[in-house]
């Protein structure tokens, strides 16, 4: 499909329905609020049907990217997963919501190639995000991609370029950007309530460890080779008995995030959330650090040239203190040993924010000196305050950037990726944020991108 044909299709999609009219009173019924007939609703294909498509973890009024949020605004017409059990479960859940069976696929390309699908919701492991997202945008589709957006810095640059080329609306599932206390924290900083920001600390907790896992046969429902996709070929490993959400250790479903082949550990798991808010509050969404220093990092295995010497147990960093410094002297610390959340320290005050609270003397002072009218909306890009999924669908209709846009999240996630590179090498990394390149360290620069397995290169 040519670029002009893609843009023609995008203009058609943009006019295909009226969306959210306000941020309150959202209908929970079969038809999205603001739509007058079913054929005006956008269509969604879901790629990846893991725990966010499991009835055990469904949250009725969740303000984040669970699958259950999408039928408020669109018709889920296809579900796809390389695990047949998961795709069948997702199909039953969608039928329960809509009384209609969605198409069920094992190959994501069936979703990409379906011209009747307007939007792709990407819920795969991290190492698949970039390939699917880029091919979806080039096929004329809008994208909602769960965090972290990418496995590498280079993938983020490529997604940013393709998003600009195609004009696709792309929301990253960093739902904290649409959560009240985080918006208020950013608005307070912009209103000067803590003075000039000097330092930010992101507490993201330590990472789990595993025993040495034996090679095991993959579940009969899982196409392991397809699950690996662009990642290096490796054997499936599994052991029961873990005290985690999966009740097991493995290098597959959910637990993939503790293996560098597929993810970045806590640095891109919670880091993708908290460093994203930190970057937003610091006003660094168009730049990045100039140096990232791994002051203290512990891994469960030894490393050589940035790669683990063993592949039979979790290998991402477990405990860490990593400092990033910026050209203007601002500092950002990412650490495991403080309260989970973000501490903003300024010249005249400090505030702490996480998913449970917003605290600090400047917060208490709001009782006598509230923020100016419209300050929250201004922080939220001048868009109506709403939940993250609603913000995405409003952006689809208006053909504008949503609150968690590709370019700004790429900058935040670059800091997370640089922290991971420095942690893996055990040495500081100097970074040129203008040209987005490592300075004077070819070994670190090589980790800005990772080779894709043969047969799984991004189709451009």
Percent of the chain surpassing pLDDT 90: 83
Is the Cβ–Cβ distance between 200 and 171 less than 8 Å? Answer: no
Q: What are phi and psi of 144, to 5 degrees?
A: -115, 115
DSSP 241-297: --SSTTSEEESSTTGGGGSTTT--GGGTTHHHHHHHHHHHHHT-TT---SEEEEEEE
Residue ranges and CATH numbers for the domains of the chain are: 3-177 (3.40.50.720)
Give residue 294's pLDDT.
Answer: 98
The predicted pLDDT at position 58 comes to 45
Low-confidence ranges of the chain (pLDDT < 70): 1-39, 52-66
φ and ψ at residue 411, rounded to 5 degrees? -65, -45
pLDDT for the residue 460: 80
What DSSP designation does 457 have?
-
Q: What is the DSSP string of 399-415?
A: TS--SS-HHHHHHHHHH
Could you read off the pLDDT of 217-259 as tens digits, one per residue? 999 999 999 999 999 999 999 999 999 988 999 999 999 999 9
341 exposure class (CB count in 10 Å sphere: 0-12, 13-18, 19+): buried
Q: What is the DSSP letter of 94?
A: H
pLDDT recorded at residue 40: 78
pLDDT (tens digit per residue) in 72-100: 999 999 999 999 999 999 999 899 888 99
pTM for the model: 0.91
Question: 3-state DSSP call for residue 160?
Answer: helix
How many residues are there in the chain? 460
Please enumerate in sequence order all residues whose Cβ is within 8 A of that of 395, keeping only pairs 6 or more positions apart, or say none: 169, 171, 383, 401, 402
**Residue 66 pLDDT:** 63
What pLDDT is stored for residue 54 in this prediction?
63
Residue in 83, 294, 343, 299 with CA at minimum distance from that of residue 194: 343
Question: What's the confidence (pLDDT) of residue 55?
Answer: 56
Q: How far is CA 71 from CA 29, 38, 123, 372, 399, in A?
A: 9, 11, 16, 35, 20
Q: Residue 325 is inside which H or E element, if any?
A: strand 319-325
Q: What is the DSSP string of 182-235?
A: HHHHHHHHHTTTT-SEEEEEEE--PPP---PPPB-PPPTTB-HHHHHTTSPP--
């Amino acid at each position: 499909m040519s670029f002009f044909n893609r843009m023609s299709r995008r203009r058609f999609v943009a006019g295909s329905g009226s969306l959210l009219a306000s941020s309150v009173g959202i209908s929970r019924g079969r038809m999205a609020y603001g739509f007058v007939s079913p054929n005006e609703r956008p269509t969604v294909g879901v790629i990846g049907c893991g725990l966010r498509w499991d009835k055990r973890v469904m949250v009725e009024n969740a303000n984040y990217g669970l699958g259950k949020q999408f039928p408020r605004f669109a018709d889920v017409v296809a579900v796809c997963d390389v695990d047949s059990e998961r795709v069948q479960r997702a199909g039953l859940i969608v039928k329960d919501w809509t009384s209609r069976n969605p198409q069920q696929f094992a190959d994501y390309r069936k979703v990409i190639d379906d011209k009747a699908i307007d939007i792709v919701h990407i819920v795969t492991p991290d190492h698949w995000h970039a390939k699917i997202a880029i091919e979806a945008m080039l096929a004329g589709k809008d994208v909602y991609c769960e965090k972290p957006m990418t496995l590498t810095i280079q993938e983020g640059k490529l997604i940013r370029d393709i998003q600009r080329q195609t004009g696709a609306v792309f929301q990253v599932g960093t739902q904290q950007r649409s959560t009240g206390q985080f918006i208020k924290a950013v608005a307070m900083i912009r209103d000067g309530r803590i003075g000039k920001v000097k330092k930010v600390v992101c507490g993201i907790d330590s990472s789990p460890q595993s025993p040495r896992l034996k090679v095991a046969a993959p579940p009969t429902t899982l196409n392991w080779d397809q699950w690996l996709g662009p990642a290096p070929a490796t054997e499936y490993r599994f052991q029961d008995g873990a005290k985690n959400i999966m009740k097991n250790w493995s290098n597959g479903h959910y637990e993939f995030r503790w293996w560098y082949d597929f993810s970045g550990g806590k640095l891109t798991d919670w880091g993708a959330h908290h460093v994203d808010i930190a970057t937003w509050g610091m006003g660094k969404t168009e730049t990045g650090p100039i140096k990232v220093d791994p002051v203290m990092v512990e891994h469960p295995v030894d490393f050589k040239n940035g790669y683990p010497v063993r592949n039979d147990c979790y290998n991402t960093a477990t405990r860490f203190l990593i400092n990033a410094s910026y050209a203007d002297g601002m500092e950002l610390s990412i650490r495991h040993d403080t309260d989970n959340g973000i501490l903003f320290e300024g010249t005249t005050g400090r505030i702490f924010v996480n998913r449970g609270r917003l605290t600090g003397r400047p917060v208490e002072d709001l009782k006598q000196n509230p923020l100016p009218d419209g300050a929250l909306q201004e922080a939220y890009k001048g868009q109506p305050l709403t939940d993250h999924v609603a913000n995405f669908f409003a952006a689809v209709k208006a053909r504008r950037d949503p609150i968690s846009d590709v370019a700004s999240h790429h900058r935040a996630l670059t800091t997370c990726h640089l922290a991971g590179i420095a942690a893996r090498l055990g040495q500081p990394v100097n970074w040129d944020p203008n040209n987005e390149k490592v300075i004077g360290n070819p070994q670190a620069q090589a980790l800005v991108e990772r080779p894709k397995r043969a047969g799984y290169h991004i189709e451009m």
